[in-house]
Amino acid sequence: MEGSERDCSVLGGLFQSVINDMKSHSPLWDDFSSKAGKLHTQLRATITVLSAFLDAFQRLADAATNTRGRHWGI
C-alpha cells in the first residue's frame, strides 16, 4: 500500500506543478490567442478585398476582350 500512496503523491505533485505552470504562462497564451484571432480576422478581410479586386480586374479584361479592336469600349 505504501508504494501506491507514494505513486499517488508523486502524480499529485506533478499535476500541481503542471497547473501552476499553466497559471504562470496563461497571460502568454491569452496574448497569443488574441493575436491569432486578430490575424484570422485580417486574413479574412484581405481575402475578401482580393476577391473583389480580381472580380473587377476580370470585368475589365472581359470588356477589353469584347471591344474587338475598338478602344472606346473600355
One pLDDT digit (tens) per residue for the chain, 74 residues: 477 777 778 878 887 887 777 777 778 878 888 899 899 999 999 999 999 999 999 999 998 888 766 666 55
Compute the C-alpha angle 46/48/51, nearest 5°: 105
Distance of alpha carbon 43 from alpha carbon 32, whole angstroms: 16
pTM, two decimals, is 0.56
Q: Identify the CA nearest to 40 among candidates 67, 61, 5, 48.
A: 48
- Cell numbers that stand for 74 in this block: 473600355
Question: Alpha helix (H) ranges present in the chain?
Answer: 2-65
User: E strand or H helix at 66, and its extent?
Assistant: none
